Structure 1
Amino acid sequence: MVSSSHEVMHRIFQEDPGMFPRAFRKLGIGFPDPVAVSFLPTDLTEVRPLERRVDTLLRFDSADGSGYLLAVESQTAPSKAKPSAWAYYAAHLYAKYGLPPVLLVTCQDRATERWAARPIDIGPPQWATLTVRPLVLGPGSVPMITDPEAASADLPLAVLSAVTHGKDPRIGAILKMLGAALKTADRDTAMVFSELTELGLGALPAADLWRNLVSVDLSFFRSQTAQNLRAEGRAEGEARAILRVLDRRGVPVPEEARATITACTDPGILDTWLDRALTAATIDDVLAERVEPESPSA
């Protein structure tokens, strides 16, 4: 089954195709800005009953009349079947469209990133008839954007950064920055990229942190998750988010600690616990040295 994070890692280029040359220009590869971008069919199946489908396929046309194809593949883990499939994509696209293809692989962990970046030689050891060299965007190449101004200047890249670094211990700071940046965009744009972030994080613990962040301002972020949290009440929603993060990360939560978390109604304490839950090794790491709510001024 295709996961939501898999979908977002290539669909983000459908929302803003120009992000591709911008991202790689920062990495020293000078793709020109397109003057036109066309969506092409993703089905690469031949007459034979063998279905081959690329995740996203775009045609980029440049001002000088040249152009190229961008095939985006979202990869969640190394796969023995993918190198031959990618070689097929490259050869088929070149034969079908007469344009040079670029294979872009997006991933969310460094092991997959290293695997995907290796050149693929097709042929005997003495001579490779075809060599496929994927471009890869992953945690080692996508910049970690933690500045709200930089995020506001390029929201699609900021979303890709957040999704790509979803497993990083610093994801809390990245998501808080992204939330602040989205508030500078118009409502429709913010809704689209808020939903893409939520889907892109998938089942990662950081997804619960993002749901908590977007639930704070429900008049602006209108995701279904935010509406659910509103119905439950913010405190209850935060408590459930903390417990879910700990459960996903395999941290045991005794009944007494579970009762303490669910009974808490102080937003400041819940926020602290949620931040700790992302990296805590034990439940004591989450609840230790609890910050007591301030007493009302006399």
Structure 2
Amino acid sequence: MPSVTHEALVELFKNRPTLAAEMLHDALGHPVPAFTEARVKSSDLAEIVPSDRRADLVVVLVGEQQRPAMAIVVEVQLGTDPDKPYVWLVYLAQTRARHRCPTRLLVVTTDPEMVRWSSRPIDTGHPGLTLTPLVLGPGGVPVVTDPEQAKAAPEVVVLSAMAHGQSDAGEAIGVAFLAAAAGLDEERRAVYGDLVLSSLNAAARRTLEATMKAGYEFQSEFARSYVAKGEIKAKAQAVLAVLEARGLEVPAELRERVLASTDLAELDRWIRRAALVSDARELLATTGS
């Protein structure tokens, strides 16, 4: 299941179709043809690959006479995947065949290690045909601290926060985002605000929260759901950690039961019980606190 970071990055490129071309040209220094419009196209490649495989995003740059000038296959990569060196070439070939134009692969990642992994040339086995992905990592993302630049390209400042929010520039990036937020529709303002806040270092986040409003809460359903899942996972792990720290043996079925819980109240109760029981199996024996 794709992570929230994966989905957030895909959403940025989908909401600003020109972003793929901007990052290719401005961040990676690869020329793109003149175009009048950038369109998000279907990334379903079911004609050739199984239906459960599809590129994250396909953007087509439209040139003169409404003809495709270039297609960009955008792939978000946050971890190693042994399938990708094989399917990326399929994505390129199928997109090129469908839109009848030059096609490039843009891999986007927030992990410097993934930059190295994704950048490796892929030997296809055919003489002279080696695929070298174009990779946008944290180092290639611009540091956006200018409010006017942020207003012109809100998705770029969000991408900047995700790449550089833990650095000393985090606070300035956050302030720049606030300048852009006023011009966004309600849903994008909520989702982007949550992404920026969750990406900033602690000091920058406190400053931005104080600026936005006291006691800022995550605004989007998207982010609230993710935060809840993170809290559930942390509490489940805390139950097991207390039991193990007390030297109690945790049976596999009990471990599975705890990790499967989605009830915060239940997990809170188990944390308290874990500090008292003499046998880990007693954890589930009592419904009281």
Which interval holds the TM-score relative to the shorter structure? 0.5 to 0.7
Secondary structure in 2 aligned to 1:42?
coil
Q: Compute the TM-score of the two structures, normalised by the length of structure 1.
A: 0.62
Q: Which residue of 2 aligns with 1:151?
A: 150
In structure 2, stretches of 5+ residues that fail to align are 225-230, 235-289
Secondary structure in 2 aligned to 1:26?
helix
Secondary structure in 2 aligned to 1:177?
helix
Is 1:223 aligned with 2:222?
no
What is the aligned-residue identity percentage? Answer: 31
CA shift for structure 1 position 140: 1.5
Q: Which residue of 2 aligns with 1:122?
A: 124
Is 1:139 aligned with 2:134?
no
Name the CA shift for 1:86/1:215 in 2 (closer, same or farther; >3 Å): farther
Name the CA shift for 1:7/1:208 in 2 (closer, same or farther; >3 Å): farther
Structure with the higher fraction of residues in helix conformation = 2
CA-to-aligned-CA distance 1:170-199 (integer Å, 9 cap, x gap): 36324433343225x4252x7515513524
CA-to-aligned-CA distance 1:68-87 (integer Å, 9 cap, x gap): 21111111122222111111
Query: Does the CA contact (< 8 Å) of 1:83 and 1:120 recur in 2?
Result: yes
Q: Which residue of 2 aligns with 1:181?
A: 179
The 5 Å alignment of 1:286-297 reads: none
CA shift for structure 1 position 209: 6.1
Name the CA shift for 1:86/1:159 in 2 (closer, same or farther; >3 Å): same
Is 1:92 aligned with 2:87?
no
Query: Does the CA contact (< 8 Å) of 2:70 and 2:103 recur in 1?
Result: yes
What is the CA–CA distance in structure 2 between the aligned matches of 1:215 and 1:194, rounded to whole Å?
16
The runs of at least 4 consecutive aligned structure 1 residues that moved more than 6 Å come to 219-222
Name the CA shift for 1:222/1:6 in 2 (closer, same or farther; >3 Å): closer
What is the CA–CA distance in structure 2 between the aligned matches of 1:13 and 1:69, rounded to whole Å?
14
Query: Does the CA contact (< 8 Å) of 1:75 and 1:106 recur in 2?
Result: yes
Match of 2:83 among 75, 81, 84: 81
CA shift for structure 1 position 131: 2.1
What is the CA–CA distance in structure 1 between the aligned matches of 2:49 and 2:20, rounded to whole Å?
33
Q: Which residue of 2 aligns with 1:213?
A: 208
Q: Which residue of 1 aligns with 2:243?
A: none
Q: Which residue of 2 aligns with 1:105?
A: 107
Q: Which residue of 1 aligns with 2:194?
A: 198
Query: Does the CA contact (< 8 Å) of 1:108 and 1:138 recur in 2?
Result: yes
Secondary structure in 2 aligned to 1:45?
coil
CA shift for structure 1 position 222: 8.3
In structure 1, stretches of 5+ residues that fail to align are 229-243, 248-298
Secondary structure in 1 aligned to 2:70?
strand
Query: Does the CA contact (< 8 Å) of 1:21 and 1:33 recur in 2?
Result: no
What is the CA–CA distance in structure 2 between the aligned matches of 1:106 and 1:182, rounded to whole Å?
23
Secondary structure in 1 aligned to 2:138?
coil
CA shift for structure 1 position 121: 1.6
Letter in 2 for 1:198: D
Letter in 2 for 1:17: P
- RMSD between superposed Cα atoms in Å: 3.9
Name the CA shift for 1:112/1:35 in 2 (closer, same or farther; >3 Å): same
Secondary structure in 1 aligned to 2:80?
coil
The higher relative CO (CA closer than 8 Å, separation ≥ 6) is in 1
Query: Does the CA contact (< 8 Å) of 1:120 and 1:132 recur in 2?
Result: yes
What is the CA–CA distance in structure 2 between the aligned matches of 1:212 and 1:224, rounded to whole Å?
20
Query: Does the CA contact (< 8 Å) of 2:147 and 2:180 recur in 1?
Result: no
CA-to-aligned-CA distance 1:88-129 (integer Å, 9 cap, x gap): 1112222333222211111002111122122212106xx34x
